[in-house]
Structure 1
Amino acid sequence: MAGMIISIARMIQSGTVTHAEIADDIGITREQLADRLALMERQGYLARQEEMADSESGCRHCCASCCARNGASFPVLYNLTQKGERLAEGTGSI
């Protein structure tokens, strides 16, 4: 499992990837990925990205052209913490 967590950290570090892309790349389901992400958050490798909200439209998405005005939930976005950065770079350990 350590190798999988390192792979997830590296994919998040590399840039904008979706949860589906990460799951497909490492060969697990989205539900399994959600479990790994929650574990990584509890262990201090990830932090939830603060949601951006447009006060006028109620949109909770990050793009100005979003048409979702019904308050539908969007995937949780994560950032690597300093601990997660060290793990992804190979200078930290699990």
Structure 2
Amino acid sequence: MAGTIVSIARMIQSGSVTLSGIADRMGITREQLADRLFLMERQGYLARQKDPAPGPGCSCGYCCSSCSKGEGAPVPVLYTLTQKGERLAQDAGSA
């Protein structure tokens, strides 16, 4: 599982990747990915941003390309690597 965590950290570090994209690339289900993300967050590799910054021109606070004023649309969860997570991803890249 250590290799899986390193792979997830490197994909998050690269940016602009969705959770579905990570799961597809790794050949795991979204539920399995969610379990690993939860573990990585508990271990201090990830930080969850619960309230992402609104998009430009957004009036609802949870805007994407087509604003529906947040009605019924789930709020996206964003993950960022902590310093510990950055070290994990970089150490794996140099090995």
The TM-score with structure 1 as length reference comes to 0.81
Letter in 1 for 2:78: L
Tell me, which stretches of 5 or more residues in structure 2 are unaligned? none
Contact 2:46 2:79 in 1 (8 A): yes
Does the Cα contact within 8 Å between 2:46 and 2:80 map onto a contact in 1? yes
User: Cα distance, 1:60 vs. partner?
Assistant: 1.4
Query: Which secondary structure state, in structure 2, belongs to the residue aligned with residue 90 of structure 1?
Result: helix
Q: Deviating runs (4+, > 3 A) in structure 1? A: none
1:79 match: secondary structure? strand
Specify the alignment match of 1:75 in structure 2.
76
2:42 is matched with 42
Q: How far apart are 1:15 and its partner, in Å?
A: 1.3
Q: Partners in 1 of 2:79 and 2:61 — Cα distance?
A: 19
Structure 2 partner of 1:29: 29
Task: Indicate which of 55, 60, 63 corresponds to 2:62.
Answer: 60
State the Cα RMSD in Å: 2.0
Unpaired stretches in structure 1, ≥5 consecutive residues = none
C-alpha distance in 2 between matches for 1:68 and 1:83: 37
* Structure 1 counterpart SS, 2:47: strand
Over the matched positions of the two proteins, sequence identity in percent amounts to 67
Q: How many residues align?
A: 88
CA 71–60 in structure 1, closer or farther in 2 if over 3 Å, else same: farther
